Amino acid sequence: MDLAFVLDFLRRLAANNNTAWMQGHRADYLRARDTFAALVTEVIRQVAPIAPELAGLTPAQAMFRLLKNDRSQTDPEPYKRRFGSGLVPGGRHAERAGYFLALMPGGGSWLRAGRFTPTPAELVTIRQEIHYSSAEFHRQLAAPELLQHFPAGLDMTVEQLTRPPRGYTADDPDLPWLKLKSFGVNSYFSDTEVLAPDFIDRVVARIAAARPWVQFLNEALGDGK
Q: At what angle do helices 199-220 and 120-132 cross, to 10 degrees?
A: 90
Q: Which of these, 37, 3, 34, 39, lies nearest to 204 by C-alpha position? A: 39
Residue type, 135: A
CB 82 within 8 A of CB 102: yes
What's the pLDDT score for residue 72? 61
According to DSSP, the residues that pair with 183 across neighbouring strands are: 115
What does each C-alpha distance from 42 to 3, 39, 154, 205 come to in angstroms?
13, 5, 27, 14
Please name the residue ranges forming H helices in the chain.
Answer: 3-15, 19-24, 26-47, 59-62, 120-132, 134-141, 144-149, 175-178, 191-195, 199-220
What's the pLDDT score for residue 69? 76
In sequence order, which residues have a C-beta less than 8 Å from that of residue 128 and are 6 or more positions away?
220
Q: pLDDT under 70 in the chain at which residues?
A: 71-73, 223-225
What does each C-alpha distance from 163 to 120, 151, 178, 212 come to in angstroms?
16, 28, 10, 30
What's the pLDDT score for residue 6? 98
Residue type, 193: E
Kindly report the pTM of this predicted structure. 0.92
Computed over every residue of the chain, the mean pLDDT equals 94
CB 82 within 8 A of CB 10: yes
What's the pLDDT score for residue 17? 94
What's the pLDDT score for residue 68? 87
Output Rg (C-alpha) for the chain, integer angstroms: 18
Q: Report helix, strand or coil for 85.
A: strand
What does each C-alpha distance from 50 to 54, 69, 151, 204 come to in angstroms?
9, 33, 21, 9
pLDDT, tens digit, 9 for 90 and up, residues 183-222: 999 999 999 999 999 999 999 999 999 999 999 999 999 8
